[in-house]
Structure 1
Amino acid sequence: MARGTLDREQVAARLLDASAKHSFDPVHEVDWDQPQPADLFYAVPEHLSLYGTPLWERMTPEQRIELSRQEICNIMSMGIWFETILMRMLLKMAYERHRPESRHVQYAYTEVGDECRHSLMFIRMIETVGARPYRRPGYLNTLGRYVPVLLQGAPMWVGTLMGEEIVDVMQREMIKDERVQPLVRQVSKIHVIEETRHVSYAREALARRLPRAGRLEREHARLVAAESAVVVGEFMANPAVYKRVGIADPEAARRMAKGNPHHLEVKRRAAAKVVPFFEELGLMGGPTLKRWQRSGFVG
């Protein structure tokens, strides 16, 4: 067995063992009936896109909490969209490898099971806090249909990491913050524990793949990294959120959020793990740097 394959199988075996010991059924392990205190936020206040802006200063405490409720539900809606695409990519990979005896493939199936439960957990949380899911823009809906075909090899793992690592960093901060609703913290904790394995799987796969990738695949991965950053960045300042909160000019609020130094700092902190990893692999810089700057995740 080649060393790269052995490494891949060893990583997958370790992750399968961890999954057997630390997996959750959110239907039964989340207290969906717990109280939601009226004075607690649904996200870390400093994470909110309008935090520190003149608009934020004019908001009542109740409006700020409502903004947090809508923003966390927007992120959960993005998570459902992303995880559905990821499941399709993993299943396509498993199908095409046609090696169910491989631990690598078996872990792909395990991760699909995790992501199914996460998507159900997210939609139930949205419903439990009394909100509605956010619909993705039409162009993203169309693009999402083709992503499993367009992203294979290194680009697949790059897109996966952009979707996973940004939210992971923010949820780790949520878990520790007692200003955040216990329900949100409980959901975030389950997600973080299981996503740690998913991030490890994707990072190891990308690090193995890139040395064998040709120039075209590497450039494609570099492009996907930047464009994924733009998509995630746009989701984080969604005018539909501001409309539901009752802000008179949602587009003006979006522009304010995108230029908000507090919001940009949150973005850069959220990207503080994935960006250096991409830099180490040679996936940053060049013509795509402007797209990264537009996303707000780098200066």
Structure 2
Amino acid sequence: MTIEAATRTAGDDVSRRLLESSATLSYDPDAEIDWEAPLPDDEYGLNPEWSTLYGTPLWDRMSQDQRVALTRYEVCSIMNTGIWFEMILQQMILRDQYMNNPADPQFQFALTEIADECRHSIMFARICEKLDAPKFSPNRAIVELARLLKSTAGGEVAYGGTLVAEEVLDVMQRDWMRGENVLDIVRTSSKIHVLEESRHMKFARQEVREHMDGIGSLRRAGSATLIAAVAVVIVQALVHPGVYRAAGLDTREALAAAKANEHRKSMLRNACAGLMQFLSEARLLTGPAVSLYRRANMI
């Protein structure tokens, strides 16, 4: 058996196991989340440690109500970014699987993942509605660049970009789902997302391995840099500047405090540790890519 055939067989095996897992262990947000339950006034939107201002002098001066409000707006901003990128992801996967053999397990799990992502996006949208948060969107230039990405990216770039968003959010949500002072609606949605996204991450890693098999050095260098650029945009888009104004803070002061926040930088680097290890193993952690990741405090 050739290396290419062995890699494809391994991919089919992974996809079969993921399909079986999806059939036996998935959640319905309508049934799992109590959408009508009132929101306790003193519970955060995410663990305070994950707030962009936690550990700064500004956080120390904020009232408890402002801290609660900020974390609720921050989690909604992160969910808005998640919805935005999940829509990009679905289109990239559909293009990558276009006209592939429907009998292949990889094709079937790709469609299963798209169905999951649709449910996740609706779940996040309903949470933002429940928390009465404004819409937090990337700026126009980023939106248009993303439109180009979703129309052209494929292979290791599509699935590598997928991993960036999923891995970082996975680490955050594993903390949120255990946060005793975090809103139950966020804790439960985090549990659902963590469990189902773990399958998506396994699938994305296998797809990256398959697409990287035997590629040339020029393509590898280009893909590594493009994935890193996508990562920087995603991480910087997670928390929209509008969250500070919505929480009653001075936007300029809050942005400066968040930018200088060493605690935030440390949390982000820890969240990216697993992602960086995989990218290194996949030969996608090149010099220019590392420079971009370091600039975004991801490494």
Shorter-chain TM-score above 0.5 = yes
Question: Residues 32 and 188 of structure 2 are in contact (CA less than 8 Å); yes or no, is this contact kept in structure 1?
Answer: no
1:91 equivalent in structure 2 = 94
Alignment of 1:169-208 (within 5 A): 169-208=171-210
Question: Residues 40 and 179 of structure 1 are in contact (CA less than 8 Å); yes or no, is this contact kept in structure 2?
Answer: yes
One-letter amino acid of the counterpart of residue 173, structure 2: Q
One-letter amino acid of the counterpart of residue 118, structure 1: H
1:163 equivalent in structure 2 = 165
CA positional deviation for 1:237: 4.3
1:63 equivalent in structure 2 = 66
1:233 equivalent in structure 2 = 235
Alpha-carbon distance between aligned partners in 2 of 1:237 and 1:75, rounded to the nearest angstrom:
6
1:14 aligns with 2:8: no
Aligned partner (choices 21, 26, 29) of residue 26 of structure 1 = 29
Q: Higher mean Cα deviation, 222-231 or 188-197? A: 222-231
One-letter amino acid of the counterpart of residue 73, structure 2: Q
Alignment gaps of 5+ in structure 1: none
CA positional deviation for 1:52: 1.1
Alignment gaps of 5+ in structure 2: none
Question: Residues 92 and 148 of structure 1 are in contact (CA less than 8 Å); yes or no, is this contact kept in structure 2?
Answer: no
Alpha-carbon distance between aligned partners in 2 of 1:275 and 1:96, rounded to the nearest angstrom:
32
Summarize deviations over 1:228-259 as a string: whole Å, max 9, x none. Answer: 221123124421111111212x1332232122
Summarize deviations over 1:144-191 as a string: whole Å, max 9, x none. Answer: 222233321111111010011000000001111101111100010000
CA positional deviation for 1:143: 1.6
Question: Residues 100 and 106 of structure 1 are in contact (CA less than 8 Å); yes or no, is this contact kept in structure 2?
Answer: yes
1:119 aligns with 2:121: yes
CA positional deviation for 1:103: 0.9
Alignment of 1:33-48 (within 5 A): 33-48=36-51
Supply the RMSD in Å over aligned alpha carbons: 1.4
One-letter amino acid of the counterpart of residue 25, structure 2: H
One-letter amino acid of the counterpart of residue 279, structure 1: S
One-letter amino acid of the counterpart of residue 214, structure 2: R
* Number of positions where the alignment pairs a residue of Structure 1 with one of Structure 2: 296
The ranges of structure 1 where at least 4 consecutive aligned residues each deviate by more than 4 angstroms after the TM superposition are none
Aligned partner (choices 126, 129, 145) of residue 147 of structure 2 = 145
1:290 aligns with 2:287: no
Alpha-carbon distance between aligned partners in 1 of 2:135 and 2:94, rounded to the nearest angstrom:
25
Q: TM-score, normalised by structure 2?
A: 0.95
CA positional deviation for 1:61: 0.3
